[in-house]
Amino acid sequence: MGLGGCVILIALGAILTFATDWHVNGVNLDIVGVILIVVGLLGLITFSSVLRRPRRGFGPGIGADEVVEERHHYYDDPRL
Rounded CA gap, 66 and 79, in Å?
30
> Using an 8 Å Cβ cutoff, are 43 and 6 in contact?
yes
Residue 58 lies in a domain: no
Give the per-residue pLDDT at 56: 63
Q: What percent of the chain has pLDDT over 70?
A: 79
Q: What is the pLDDT of residues 28-52, one digit of tens each?
A: 999 999 999 999 999 999 988 877 7
Give the per-residue pLDDT at 18: 94
* 29 closest CA partner among 42, 18, 41, 40: 18
Residue 74 lies in a domain: no
Instruction: Report the number of distinct structural domains present in the chain.
Output: 1
Q: Where are the alpha helices (DSSP H) in the chain?
A: 3-14, 29-52
Give the per-residue pLDDT at 60: 59
Residue 60 lies in a domain: no
Average of per-residue pLDDT values in the chain? 82
Residue 42 lies in a domain: yes
Residue 10: which domain range? 3-52
Rounded CA gap, 63 and 80, in Å?
33
Residue 17 lies in a domain: yes
Residue 67 lies in a domain: no
